[in-house]
Amino acid sequence: MCIFNFFWTRPCPHCRRVRPFIESLPTQYPWLALHSHDLSQDMAAGLRYARMAEALGESARAVPALLFCGRMLI
């Protein structure tokens, strides 16, 4: 099982564009578990994003962001 943490916000145009694709991935790949975090609605998600990014030697600087398998993609 691979866990994808997807961090996004509602006002972000890039997030709106990629969100349907990202959220459809688990249907195509059953071994993938998606945790979708709306930073604009969940304050705890912002702290989670910062902690997870820091653990990878990164900073929570932009969205959309994917954290998975010890990597961070923005």
Over residues 20-70, the pLDDT tens digits come to 999 999 999 999 999 999 999 999 999 999 999 999 999 999 999 999 999
- Kind and range of the H or E element at 11? none
CA distance 18 to 61: 18
Question: For residue 43, what is the domain's CATH number?
Answer: 3.40.30.10
- Burial-class residue 12 by CB neighbours within 10 Å (0-12, 13-18, 19+): middle
Which of the four pLDDT bands, split at 50, 70 and 90, describes residue 5?
Answer: very high
- Burial-class residue 37 by CB neighbours within 10 Å (0-12, 13-18, 19+): buried
CA distance 42 to 56: 22
The domain in which residue 37 lies consists of: 2-73
Number of domains the chain contains: 1
Which of the four pLDDT bands, split at 50, 70 and 90, describes residue 1?
Answer: confident
